Structure 1
Amino acid sequence: MPRQVNNATLELVRSFEGLYLEAYRDEAGVWTIGYGHTGFDIAGGAVKPGRKLADENEALAILRVDLDNVAKDVEKLLLIRPKAELNDNQFGALVSFAFNVGIGNLEKSALLRRLNGRDYLGTIPEFAKWNRCNGKVLRGLTRRRNAEAALFCSFPPPVISAS
């Protein structure tokens, strides 16, 4: 079974993407809807001008599918040892990063090379290097990369079982 993203990751992505029930062009000129959705979905096809979602629940359902798909792609890029050693927040930080910059950019990044080399401390500053759009530093991307790095450095809350 593929690894699932945790709630901390879901909330990080939601907070930075924001909710848009009608399609719009993002800073890179890409048609986007919901919580950062840019691809296809079963109900409505491609994101294009005039595309609308019914409500936040539809946007959230699409986001969950998007994050699950990105999580599968991230897992494929991780070597066995880092994959086994990452906690849910570290994995989630990678999923958020790849959701935003694209899996291809993660694949060719020094961030992934450091992580797969088990240089976890060296991985952290690599997030900050991805704060530009069309060559321009964006404050929102800087904040997001800082939040992803913070998530990467944090531990998920313990699971308390009722016994």
Structure 2
Amino acid sequence: MRLSPTGLDLIKRRNGLTLKARQDVSGLWFIGYAHYGDVSEGMEITQPEAEAKLEHEIGRFETQLAGMLTVPVSQGQWDALLLLVFDYGLARLRNSILLRHVNASDFERAAAEFSKWIQVRGRPDIGMVKRRDAERQMFLQGSPAA
């Protein structure tokens, strides 16, 4: 399964495009659409390079997420899970209660878990609260999130 155009647009809108490396609140360098890792001070990229980095990262997430799921999911559920992974990473999802509920086909309980993924640097963050609420709705209804 692939991230829908709606999900891709949401990632882009949420993260914005940064063509010159910047540091986040924790001091980590990022560039493009929140690309981390091989980024250092002074680094610059073009928009096509940012798009390529994003596509590569999403492709890696899709492959690994597919390997963690043991039940079929809807497009809305898939998108919501990938959006969560984009913010918190695959390792955190892999051992989560949320994933256990998904794999047990207990989608109501899985949806309730989204509200627990709201911390930035150990503190609740209003931006993450809004993201998780939109993803929970997307997960339950398959509708586009804001």
TM over 0.5: yes
Q: Aligned to 2:117, what secondary structure does the other structure show?
A: coil
Q: How many Å apart are 1:72 and its aligned residue?
A: 0.7
Alignment equivalent of 2:46, drawn from 51, 54, 58: 54
Instruction: Determine if contact 2:119/2:128 at 8 Å carries over to the other structure.
Output: yes
Match of 1:14 in 2: 12
| Structure 2 Cα separation of the partners of residues 155 and 132 of structure 1 | 24
Q: How many Å apart are 1:120 and its aligned residue?
A: 0.2
| Structure 1 Cα separation of the partners of residues 115 and 143 of structure 2 | 22
| Structure 2 Cα separation of the partners of residues 94 and 51 of structure 1 | 30
| 1:2-151 alignment runs, 5 A limit | 3-39=1-37, 46-55=38-47, 57-79=48-70, 82=71, 84=72, 86-151=73-138
Seq. identity, %: 31
Instruction: Determine if contact 2:107/2:140 at 8 Å carries over to the other structure.
Output: no
**In angstroms, what is the RMSD of aligned CA positions?**
1.6
Q: How many Å apart are 1:156 and its aligned residue?
A: 6.2
Deviating 4+ runs (over 3 angstroms) = none
Tell which structure's C-alpha radius of gyration is larger.
1
- The CA deviation string for residues 31-53 of structure 1, in whole angstroms up to 9 with x for no partner, is 111111113xxxxxx11111111
Q: Aligned to 1:50, what secondary structure does the other structure show?
A: coil
Structure 2, unpaired ranges of 5+: none
Structure 1, unpaired ranges of 5+: 40-45, 158-163
